[in-house]
Structure 1
Amino acid sequence: MSYTIVTDICEGFADCVDACPIACIYPGNGKNAKGIETWNWIDFSTCINCGICFQVCPVAGAILPEARPDLQKMTNKVVT
């Protein structure tokens, strides 16, 4: 199992990116539902389920301790 960044909630602080010991967190493409251009996502195939991202994220509900591909989109629709 891996962790999930809810891409429509992520605010792109990147604390998770800096803390991840295996560098499995990547920037998304386009704006998310909040209009944020710097949101991130976790590569499920390389996540080791350490939970560090979950511990350091300052945005409530942005990271879940389970794999939820339906909530994590590498490309989101542009908010207009």
Structure 2
Amino acid sequence: MSHTIETEKCIGVPECVEACPVACIHQGKGKNNNNTNWYWIDFSACIDCSICVQVCPTQGAILDREEPTLQKSS
């Protein structure tokens, strides 16, 4: 199972990108509804290590399950 970054909760701080051991987190194009950068997780590459959850400064922005409807992927 993969993790999910909720596009509209993400504030664009790349702590998760830097911490991910398999480089499965990527920056999305443009801004989200909060006018911030945002990131997304490649579900097929995620190894479910939860490091992203631990380093994310935004409580609740990363879910410990795959929720494609909450995460844009480009």
- Per the shorter chain, which TM-score range? over 0.9
Gaps of 5+ in 1: 76-80
- Count of residue correspondences: 74
More helix by share: 2
Note the aligned Cα RMSD (angstroms).
Answer: 0.8
Gaps of 5+ in 2: none
8 Å CA contact 1:9–1:33 kept in 2: the answer is no
Partner Cα separation in structure 1 for residue 31 and residue 57 of structure 2: 19
Larger-Rg structure: 1
Shift of 1:74: 2.2
Tell me the equivalent position of 2:14. 14
- Aligned-pair identity in percent equals 57
Aligned ranges 1:36-51 → 2 under 5 Å = 36=36, 38-51=37-50
Moved over 4 A (4+): none
TM-score by length of 2: 0.96
